[in-house]
Amino acid sequence: MHQVPLYINGEFTQSSSEQWIDVVNPANQEVLAKVPCATEQEVKAAIDSAQEAFKTWRNVPVPERARIMMKYAALLKEHQEEIATIICHELGKTFEDAKGDVWRGIEVVEQAANAPAMMMGETVENVARNIDTYSYTQPLGVCAGITPFNFPAMIPLWMFPMAIVCGNTFVLKPSEQDPLTPMRLVELFEEAGAPKGVLQVVHGTKDQVDQILEAPEIKAVSFVGSCNVGHYIYSKGTQHKKRVQACVGAKNHMVIMPDAPKAQTVNNLVGASVGAGGQRCMGISVAVFVGSSKEWVEDIKKGFEGVRPGLWNDPEAAYGPQTTPQAKQRILSLIQSGKDQGATCLVDGSDYTVEGYEAGNWVGPTLFTDVTEEMEIYKEEIFGPVLSCVFVDTLDEAIALINRNPYGNGTSLFTASGAAARKFQQQIEVGQVGINIPIPVPLPFFSFTGWKNSFYGDQHTYGKQGVRFYTETKTVTSRWFDDEVVTGPNMSINLR
């Protein structure tokens, strides 16, 4: 049985832990590997090694650090399909979707290679006579990242390349559900020329995360995962005087205006709601039909009926299994609650299975109408292939509904009206807005800007905000004496 190693001080080492977790193929429950819950000494060794490596890594010229990222991006492209296949085995994504998971991470590495431009400070000459002020961005020290199961390539790549190119060193604690993908990312990072100790990987769950949150050596923590855990990490991390950015749960609404192009709108809604089995933090879980667009529910229903989950290497499969039997059970009980609370279930995927793979965590596409704000299926992040349809009369009502929702990760509007689009993008209290784009995940020269209960922190992930998160600004005010004029002591706060 493959035992997933730790990665400490540039060595892949076996953990001496007595606690191990199975890494399971969700399509058939085959145990692929065992991942350790690292011991306290192992986590400490990783943090110490990162701290030691920081002393030299921070002085490596920025273009040299960036060149490692260029090489890394090239290696990831070369190995994209191989990494995608690992994702398919440990997470069950379809091959195309898994390749997308890797690709969207590669885009962040490409952006990290742009660090010299992103790290530029500011200058003003002559802020007072013969005095100049300029600022530098300097690394923080050791940073850490805690990642979720649903994008095992993209989300680790949101974090460590940005932190490291800024001159920090990094401790990654990947999801225990699919650690094989991030370990392959780490091997390739080493191959790209990353020096020993710059990146560490420890595995585990709450205890290992707690040790990271309490360690005074760690200056900043990036988290992506569920709301409860993210809130805990944000509170505990900031209590221990760390910077924390936590991208968490979501309930994303898509608004459908009657003037939207029908066929494109229906296709986009079906793909964005059940794609990846609904296991995307930017997936659509509520469709808000304005006025007569509610008649299109019949077309959505037909679309759902044509969606067939299946194995990763079945080119006809729309999406794979849910991540664990527990996740499947939770989705099924939410579907049941929708029925019990009076929603109309037009398509029910509760009993879906794949022949020969009956042990897989399958849930078929599920469509509800007549959903109200009080129902559990509306309030909870289901994180499964379940779409709730809500009907309103006006765009204003749709905007008010979305703004009442505690989450604010993503939303979209489908319309042919520029005026409606402008009103929506201006008034909506959600951080990432798509106009005729169902899943508006910003490319990495922007940042991933969830709002409200979908993000705890100040500076968002990747892009310029990512650089600000992983750096400190140092502002220098300087004067060089070039004359013999001597004035008396300056007793005021003014520069002169």
Q: Is there binding between residue 229 and ligand NAD (CB under 6 A)?
A: yes
And the tokens for 37?
Answer: 């819950």
454 touches ligand NAD (CB under 6 A): yes
Question: What b/e sequence results for 382-400 when a residue is b if at least 16 CB atoms lie within 10 Å of its CB, and e otherwise?
Answer: bbbbbbbbbbbeebebbbe
CA distances from 25 to 30, 34, 219 (A): 5, 12, 35
Residue of the chain from 85, 226, 341, 425 that contacts ligand NAD (CB under 6 A): 226
* Least distance to ligand NAD, CB of residue 319, Å: 16
Show the site string, 135-174: x = touches ligand NAD by CB under 6 A, - = not: -----------xxxxxx---------------------x-
93 or 294, CB closer to ligand NAD? 93
The pair of structure tokens assigned to 36 is: 């350790």
Least distance to ligand NAD from the beta carbon of 97, Å? 14
Sorted by sequence, the CB contacts under 8 Å of residue 474 that are 6+ apart come out as 135, 136, 137, 138
User: Considering just the CA atoms, what is the radius of gyration of the chain in Å?
Assistant: 25
Question: Quick one: 17 or 415, whose CB is closer to ligand NAD?
Answer: 17
Q: Which of 2, 55, 206, 474 binds ligand NAD (CB under 6 A)?
A: 206
What's the CA gap between 167 and 174, in Å, rounded?
A: 21
Binding of residue 381 to ligand NAD (CB under 6 A) = yes
Looking at the DSSP bridge assignments, the partners of residue 456 are 246
Q: How many CA atoms lie within 13 A of 267 on its CB side?
A: 6
- Has 281 been annotated as catalytic? yes
Alpha-carbon span 488 to 83, nearest angstrom: 68
CB of residue 353 to ligand NAD, shortest distance in Å: 23
Backbone angles phi, psi at 421, to 5 degrees: -65, -45
Q: Work out how close the CB of 64 gets to ligand NAD at its nearest, in angstroms, rounded to a whole number.
A: 31
Amino acid at 146: I
Closest by CA to 185, choosing from 54, 289, 332, 83, is 83
Looking at 7, 160, 362, 383, which residue binds ligand NAD (CB under 6 A)? 383
Nearest-CB residue to ligand NAD?
Answer: 225
CB of 469 to ligand NAD, least distance (A): 14
Q: Which two tokens stand for residue 454?
A: 């979908």
Residues between 244 and 263 with contacts to ligand NAD, criterion CB under 6 A: 247-250
**8, 209, 220, 269: which one contacts ligand NAD (CB under 6 A)?**
209
Q: Could you give the CA distance from residue 95 to residue 313 in angstroms, rounded to a whole number?
A: 6
Smallest distance, ligand NAD to C-beta of residue 370, A = 25
Active-site residue, selected from the candidate residues 143, 166, 247, 281:
281
Question: Which residues have a catalytic role annotated?
Answer: 281
Q: Which residues are at the interface with ligand NAD (CB under 6 A)?
A: 146-151, 173, 175-176, 205-206, 209, 224-226, 229, 232, 247-250, 281, 381, 383, 409, 448, 450, 454
